[in-house]
Homo-oligomer: A and B are copies of this chain.
Amino acid sequence: MMDSIKQTAKQARDASIQMAGLSDALKNEALTRIAQALLSQEKAITQANQEDLAQAEKDNISPTLIKRLKFAGDKLRTVIDGIESLKNLPDPVGVTLLSRELDDGLELYQVSCPIGVLGIVFESRPDALVQISTLALKSGNAVLLKGGSEAARTNQILAQIISQATEQAGIPRGWLSLLQTREDVKAMLALDDYIDLLIPRGSNAFVKYIMDNTRIAVLGHADGICHVYVDGSAQMDMAVKVALDSKCQYAAVCNAMETLLVDKSIAPQFLPQIKKLYDEQSVELRGDEQSRALIDCDPASEEDWHTEYNDLILSVKVVDGLEEAIEHINTFGSHHTDAVVTEDSTAAARFMELVDSANVFWNCSTRFSDGYRYGLGAEVGISTNKIHARGPVGLEGLVIYKWKLVGRGQTVAEYSGTDAKKFTHRNLNKVSNI
């Protein structure tokens, strides 16, 4: 098994080398063929999906998961619309980021290029397979994919359709492969010679397992412990709206609020009011001592400040102003998304500068933290990394750059020692043609 995964990864690595040189036209042609093939094989896809759904019902899979697993007409249409949008985005590869004359006839270019081979593990949403593989294709990367086992049959046929359609368009064979088992994923973690970046999506425990067991760079997030801080000068109606949406619009996702921080000056008015609305939505509250003096709820322990509930549960803390709020968020948060509600622009600016999170919001819901809402097109995930790509990651997060230096036989010896030639270091604002 290990050997076959290594072979698959090696094939992806070989394909990735060739993919670095693909034109945007060819990549778009391949995207067109994917869309056509998905449409023309809709029946077979539906058939495979029905089998996955039947098995899932037999296995007593939760209705939420079954809803995600379903890949029928509307979802296929949405995915194909996504492919059309992707075609319209500019090629992220081959962009000249810097051009500089080092000396007469010695020119340096920094040019964007694909990362190479991506290993992506995603949840049981077959539409994710199409989104991820088309993003990888447009950015010139090869991919090893592993989807949720509940979607095995649907993923199998989708991967097969995409491989065939793209290889017919001239994308190198083996640029996309679907892994089958959890053992395959484990084997992949050791292949740092072939795989350049891992993007795990899924449960906290799973992402942490990946991070702890590989030398390969990992992009993504484990926890999503997001906060809303209601400042003393917040507009009451706005604070209520934002706090309600951040918790209740969709509680099971990483950008939902887990802890509500309230300035002590506004807490006596704000907390009773929001509690009424949370009660209507069956949100369970866990408060610190000061909160519980104002509203009736269970006590919060320190453990609560560290917890991502992913559910209709919320911890609440009354704080002594902006600085304590920032300190709390930087100590207990997961550096994902944190919002302040305030009418004081100085306080907002300080919050947004000092809160050490990928996404910092002023007067809006944490739920906006998303690649689609940001207008990035599809996203491969949300990163809480402090290097490379942070927040929602679209095409830009899937490229890196290389330095290209073009000379006429210059040697470093000429630029060293007593009679050393001098570098000119003159910016060229020129597009690399090499």
Contact = CB atoms under 8 A, between A and B. Distances in A.
Identical subunits present: 2
Nearest to A197: B387
A250 B411 CA distance: 12
Contacts of A18: 354
Contacts of A386: 115-116, 196-197, 217, 400
A106 B368 CA distance: 10
Interface string A339-378: 0010001001110111011111111110111000111000
Contact of A411 (B367, B402, B406): B367
A75 interface: no
A182 to B, nearest CB: 21
A375 B102 contact: yes
A387 B390 contact: no
A232 interface: no
A237 interface: yes
Nearest to A405: B361
Contacts of A368: 102, 106, 405, 407, 410, 412
A119 interface: no
A356 B249 contact: no
Interface stretch (A27-35, A240-248, A289-297): A240-248
Nearest to A345: B434
Contacts of A352: 402, 404, 434
Given A21-B350, A102-B374, A215-B211, A249 B413 contact: yes
Given A387-B197, A390-B401, A402-B358, A409 B116 contact: no
Contact of A362 (B197, B425, B434): B434
Contact of A400 (B241, B362, B387, B401): B387
Nearest to A364: B407
B434 A403 contact: no
Contact of A409 (B212, B241, B415): B241
A189 interface: no
Given A100-B374, A387-B115, A411-B241, A212 B212 contact: no
A148 to B, nearest CB: 24
Given A362-B434, A390-B402, A407-B363, A353 B21 contact: yes
Contacts of A401: 390
A200 interface: no
A354 B390 contact: no
B360 A403 contact: yes
Contacts of A413: 245, 249
A136 interface: no
A335 to B, nearest CB: 9
Contacts of A369: 403, 405
Interface string A212-230: 1001010100000000000
A408 interface: yes
Interface of A: 16-18, 20-21, 100, 102, 106, 108, 115-116, 196-197, 211-212, 215, 217, 219, 235, 237-238, 241-242, 244-245, 249-250, 326, 330, 341, 345, 348-350, 352-354, 356-365, 367-369, 373-375, 385-392, 400-413, 415-416, 423, 425, 434
20 contacts: A17-B326, A20-B354, A106-B364, A115-B386, A116-B386, A196-B386, A197-B387, A242-B409, A352-B404, A352-B434, A359-B402, A359-B403, A363-B409, A364-B407, A368-B405, A369-B403, A386-B400, A387-B388, A390-B402, A392-B403
Given A212-B215, A390-B402, 11 more contacts: A17-B354, A115-B386, A245-B411, A352-B404, A357-B402, A360-B405, A362-B404, A362-B407, A368-B405, A386-B400, A391-B403
